[in-house]
Amino acid sequence: MTDTTAPSASPAASLWREMLEIIRTVAVALGIALVLRIVVFQPFTIPSSSMEPGLVTGDYIVVSKLAYGWSRASFPLNPPLFKGRFLGRQAQRGDVVVFRPPRDPSQTWIKRVIGLPGDHVQIRRGQVFVNGTALPQTAIGLTQDHDAPDRAVLQVGETTPNGRAYVTYDGGPGQPGDDTEVHVVPPGQYFVMGDNRDNSLDSRFSPAMGGVGLLPAENLVGRAKIVLLSWKPGASILKPWTWLDLQWGRFFRVIR
């Protein structure tokens, strides 16, 4: 009787096929992750205190790219693929947005939308006026700056015309940016400000002064949605001993 059973594959061939399967699986997983990062959500770490008290240094946030559609700013490295926004939608007053500043699109910043296209925005003695009407403010009380505990600041509640309420920091009268000219927001641009009003380079300051100036809509990356978790200042992925230096009370906070 003739034995017709095929010889089994060599151990080396089996190992090679297994390695190829692992490489394919990893490549598919990375591809899916990249698509989700470009199209749906992207994580960012807050590097500065300009959005205190809502966001503090070390917050790890998730940004929705579905909110405003997609532009070249949605892609890593800001490639010159096309102009404008695909399926673009307008940001709303009070939205906290991540964007690429016009003076250096390689960076990503975060601020709050105050003025929409066509708005007239002015700051007088630290109070924001939109189209001649002051945004309502309520003094909450003095507190210590989260990132600079030796700095006393006044917590001020502020409400936009569409009812968005949030808390800002005021470092006192006579600060740079407390009094501005009237800024007329052109079509396709926004006026943005940091909530830590006296520690924010934003639309009150021109790019030549280190600020944002008026923000083109195509520079928007997305809308900040939630603080996923948060590390204390000084923690770093390069310092394993700091990995558990977490700000536990800031986990899973909705960004308002």
SS3 234: coil
> Look-up: residue for tokens 């997983």?
29
Active site includes 50?
yes
Using DSSP bridges, classify how beta strands 59-64 and 220-230 pair: parallel, antiparallel or unpaired. antiparallel
Classify each residue of 2-22 as buried b or exposed e, where b means 16 or more C-beta atoms within 10 Å of its C-beta. eeeeeeeeeeeeeeeeeeeee
From the candidates 65, 74, 111, 230, give the one annotated as an active-site residue: 111
Amino acid at 120: H
Residues 6+ apart with CB under 8 A from 134: 127, 128
The order of strands in the sheet holding 152-159 is 137-144, 152-159, 165-170
What Rg do the C-alpha atoms of the chain give, in angstroms? 24
| From 50, 74, 203, 230, the catalytic residue | 50
CA terminus-to-terminus distance, the chain = 80
- Residue 74 phi/psi, 5-degree rounding, is -75, -20
Q: C-alpha distances in angstroms, 209 versus 103, 200, 201?
A: 10, 12, 8
111 is annotated as an active-site residue: yes
Annotated catalytic sites, by residue? 50, 111
